[in-house]
């Protein structure tokens, strides 16, 4: 089910305490996080090799973590450095260590072979301190398989229906304009790029005091392995789409406004997942950030309700298969990419397409 050789977003860095421990399960593996003397975050398997007690019930001692069952103490590299009442420490008494990076305000953990941990695989998430954007962090937990959340982000045609009351503001015309806009899909090395122009549109009601009543909107997002979503929305005067040949915006055109959202999906187990996100306007429109947060949070909860309901239907009807439609092209491409990557590393693959 899970790709191992990849960086997973464990959460926002601000949620990991300066002292103490934080336990978490990612792709079915139990982890424990703690900080060293220099504040650097460390991650180990949450399992003492002695009697298999959870190290998350242990105690941080400088750079070390002590199991509070029989007192074994483990260093930053996972090696045991102390066994109370025993001088000889077998080399086999050790704990697995996972590479961790804090970047863009996010804690990223590499779940596969440490020798293959490539920092270049972490895309430009922008992060909470980026000078161009005004947004705040969010986090949700789903009772659903992560693939369903990935699918939802890969095909945004659902916005017209799932988010008619939030992003659509209850206006049917704005929702239908989004749903009817043609979409282009471009494969990337470790993901897919999906773009669309919505032409001569009123757009979302909550942005009209920024953008004006009618605009051309260019929306493009990258979806990167294993589940990282980066969306830019640029709003122009009417005519920009035609001037750009319905392709990427002409560089000479200056947008009236921009929006950005960074999101990441992390599987806990086969039936539980974590979703972190930030969404907001340009810094120069920072006074509108509370409205963006309210609408975005409402929309992401709408997704959660629908996807958890979808998971319940799948569990209740395991013999029934999804039927593919043209809107599934990005979804199928990304699933096939994950399938290939997992075959290469020998892990169980996800379905190649949404059909039987």
Same domain (yes/no): 98, 136: no
Same domain (yes/no): 89, 137: no
Same domain (yes/no): 276, 310: yes
Same domain (yes/no): 184, 58: no
Q: Of 46, 47, 26, 48, which is closest to residue 107 (Cα–Cα)?
A: 26
Number of domains in the chain: 2
- 120, 137, 159: which is the final residue of a domain? 120
Question: What CATH number should be reported for the domain holding residue 17?
Answer: 2.102.10.10
Question: What CATH number should be reported for the domain holding residue 152?
Answer: 3.90.380.10
Give the confidence band of 234 by pLDDT, cuts at 50, 70, 90.
very high
Give the confidence band of 233 by pLDDT, cuts at 50, 70, 90.
very high
Average pLDDT rounded to a whole number, residues 86-92: 96
Amino acid 350: pLDDT: 52
Same domain (yes/no): 101, 198: no
Task: Answer whether residue 245 shows pLDDT above 90.
Answer: yes
Of all residues in the chain, the percent with pLDDT exceeding 90 is 81
CA-CA distances (angstroms) from residue 248 to 218, 244, 245? Answer: 8, 7, 8
Is position 31 within any domain?
Answer: yes
**DSSP H helical segments within the chain, as ranges?**
146-154, 159-162, 172-180, 208-211, 240-243, 289-316, 329-345
Please name the residue that has the structure tokens 């990167």: 224
Which span out of 127-136, 165-174, 270-279 was modeled with the highest average pLDDT?
A: 270-279
Q: Are 242 and 20 in contact (CB under 8 A)?
A: no
For residue range 152-163, list pLDDT tens digits in order: 999 999 998 999
Amino acid 204: pLDDT: 75
Amino acid 169: pLDDT: 76
Task: Answer whether residue 235 shows pLDDT above 90.
Answer: yes
Is position 332 within any domain?
Answer: yes
For residue range 256-297, list pLDDT tens digits in order: 999 999 999 999 999 999 999 998 899 999 999 999 899 999
Respond yes or no on whether the N-terminal peptide bond of residue 161 is cis (omega within 30° of 0): no
Q: Which long-range CB contacts under 8 A does 161-168 form with residues at least 24 apart?
A: 162/299, 162/302, 162/303, 162/306, 163/299, 163/302, 163/303, 165/298, 165/302, 166/295, 166/296, 166/298, 166/299, 166/302, 167/204, 167/295, 167/299, 168/204
Task: Answer whether residue 144 shows pLDDT above 90.
Answer: yes
Same domain (yes/no): 135, 116: no
Same domain (yes/no): 112, 160: no
Is position 85 within any domain?
Answer: yes
Cβ atoms < 10 Å from Cβ of 25? 15
Is position 356 within any domain?
Answer: no
Q: 89 versus 171: which is more confidently predicted?
A: 89
Lowest mean pLDDT: which of 137-146, 263-272, 331-340, 345-354?
A: 345-354
For residue range 28-61, list pLDDT tens digits in order: 999 999 999 999 999 999 999 999 999 999 999 9
- 120, 150, 182: which is the final residue of a domain? 120
Bridge partners for 272 per DSSP: 269
Mean pLDDT rounded to a whole number for the chain: 92
Average pLDDT rounded to a whole number, residues 61-76: 97
- 73, 102, 120: which is the final residue of a domain? 120
Task: Answer whether residue 12 shows pLDDT above 80.
Answer: yes
Q: Of 10, 230, 6, which is closest to residue 105 (Cα–Cα)?
A: 10
Q: pTM, whole model, 2 decimals? A: 0.93
- CA–CA separation, 55 and 22 (whole Å): 10
Q: How far apart are the first and last CA of the chain?
A: 17
Amino acid 352: pLDDT: 46
Q: Counting Cβ atoms within 10 Å, is residue 315 exposed (0-12), middle (13-18) or buried (19+)?
A: exposed
Is position 11 within any domain?
Answer: yes
Is position 352 within any domain?
Answer: no
For residue 288, what is the DSSP state? G
In degrees to the nearest 10, what's the CA dihedral of 228, 12, 297, 278?
Answer: -60
Q: Look up the domain containing 287 and give its range.
A: 126-345
Is position 354 within any domain?
Answer: no
Give the confidence band of 356 by pLDDT, cuts at 50, 70, 90.
very low
CA-CA distances (angstroms) from residue 147 to 22, 154, 172, 222, 234? Answer: 25, 10, 29, 16, 28
Same domain (yes/no): 76, 114: yes
Same domain (yes/no): 285, 259: yes
Task: Answer whether residue 75 shows pLDDT above 70.
Answer: yes
Same domain (yes/no): 147, 246: yes
Is position 350 within any domain?
Answer: no
Same domain (yes/no): 237, 139: yes
Same domain (yes/no): 159, 304: yes
Amino acid 355: pLDDT: 39
């Amino acid at each position: 089910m899970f790709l191992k050789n990849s960086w997973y977003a464990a959460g926002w860095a601000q949620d990991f305490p300066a002292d103490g421990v934080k336990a978490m399960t990612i792709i079915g593996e139990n982890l424990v996080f703690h900080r060293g003397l220099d504040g650097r975050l460390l991650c180990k398997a949450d399992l003492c090799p002695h009697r298999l007690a959870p190290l998350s019930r242990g105690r941080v001692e400088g750079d070390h973590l002590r199991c509070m069952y029989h007192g074994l103490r483990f260093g930053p590299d996972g090696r045991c450095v102390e066994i109370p009442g025993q001088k000889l420490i077998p080399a086999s008494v050790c704990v697995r260590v996972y590479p961790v990076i804090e970047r863009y305000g996010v804690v990223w953990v590499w779940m596969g072979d440490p020798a293959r941990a490539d920092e270049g695989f972490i895309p430009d998430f922008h992060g909470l301190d980026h000078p161009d954007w005004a947004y705040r962090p969010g986090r949700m937990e789903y009772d659903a398989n992560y693939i369903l959340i990935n699918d939802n982000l890969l095909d945004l045609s659902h916005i017209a229906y799932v988010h008619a009351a939030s992003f659509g503001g209850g206006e049917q015309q704005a929702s239908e304009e989004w749903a009817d806009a043609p979409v282009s899909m471009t494969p990337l090395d470790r993901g897919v790029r999906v773009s669309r122009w919505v032409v001569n549109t009123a757009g979302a009601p909550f942005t009209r005091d920024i953008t004006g009543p009618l605009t051309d909107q260019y929306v493009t997002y990258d979806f990167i392995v294993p589940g990282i979503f980066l969306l830019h929305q640029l709003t122009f005067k009417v005519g920009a789409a035609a001037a750009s040949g319905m392709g990427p915006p002409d560089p000479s055109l200056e947008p009236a406004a921009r929006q950005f959202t960074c999101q990441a999906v992390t599987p806990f187990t086969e039936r539980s997942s974590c979703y972190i996100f930030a969404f907001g306007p340009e810094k120069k429109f920072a006074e509108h950030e509370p409205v963006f947060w309210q609408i975005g949070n409402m929309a992401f909860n709408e997704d959660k309700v629908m996807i958890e309901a979808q998971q319940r239907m799948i569990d209740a009807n395991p013999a029934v298969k999804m039927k593919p439609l043209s809107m599934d092209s990005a979804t199928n491409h990304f699933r096939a990419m994950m399938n290939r990557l997992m075959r290469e590393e020998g892990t169980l693959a996800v379905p190649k397409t949404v059909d039987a």
